[in-house]
Amino acid sequence: MARPGRAPVVGKRVQLMATCLCDAFHDDVAAATVEVLEHLGCEVSFPEGQTCCGQPAFNGGDWPASRRVVRHAVRTFPGADPVVVPSGSCAAMMFHGAVLEFEHEDDLGDVESLGRRTWELGDFIVNGLGVTTWPGRLDAAVALHRSCHTRGTGSSDAVALLVGSIEGVRLVPFGEGEQCCGFGGTFSVGFPHISAAMGDLKLDHVRAAAPDILVSGDMGCLMHLGGLAAREGAPMRMLHFAQVLRDALGAPA
């Protein structure tokens, strides 16, 4: 999957798409995203009407329902300011998935235009703003789980570049890093057995590398992996990279 051409970043105003998972479960990740963007000098607005990117129904096969939600997102994030989202999966939904399901719709143009200015957070910082190093300090061995939905885009490299540049951070590789963790949205409940088996493999590989923290750009992956590890009575410290960047700055947790 290739990232379509996108609008260059002009000015410092950005709109935050917090994602439904952060809205419901992982508020600290959304807060960290705000703090990270503000540290970079961005003026962050949060459109109150936002809900979800539409991906659950898109992946579940109910495209008419998904398109209703995407149309809501198009109305919620108007204008020309970039939309920044702390999730590779939701970002890919906006710039790729939504475009696919609107192929034969009259308002495809509106969806494409939102897609062109929607950025995954790491991609935005590195490729949008041109920031490639991160200040502060964090003494930790970090395992990075790449986000499957941003394969072929710059996101995973961007996150590795930023996190790896923090003084004190040591990135530790682990086996089969290109393999999916097994979350997959509705896949995780339609295929609970395979999903958990994939997650257990991922956890085994990560544990073998013995990191202090497992870091990802998608809370879906971490909610699944964290839930598995907790159920097995072997919890693992997991953070979104926005939290890592924020913590490195010494900002209040």
Query: Of 108, 129, 196, 209, which lies in the binding site for other proteins, with binding defined by CB under 8 A?
Result: 196
Q: Which stretch binds other proteins (CB under 8 A): 110-118, 125-133, 166-174, 179-187?
A: 179-187
- Shortest separation between residue 35's beta carbon and other proteins, angstroms: 9
| Residues that contact other proteins, how many (by CB under 8 A) | 70
57 binds other proteins (CB under 8 A): yes
- Shortest separation between residue 101's beta carbon and other proteins, angstroms: 7
* CA–CA gap between residue 92 and residue 226 (Å, rounded): 23
Q: Which is nearer to other proteins, 84 or 166 (CB)?
A: 84
- Shortest separation between residue 139's beta carbon and other proteins, angstroms: 26
Q: Which is nearer to other proteins, 34 or 169 (CB)?
A: 34
Phi, psi angle pair for 137, to nearest 5°: -150, 145
x/- map, 8-47, other proteins, by CB under 8 A: ----------x-x-xxxxxx--xx--x-----------x-
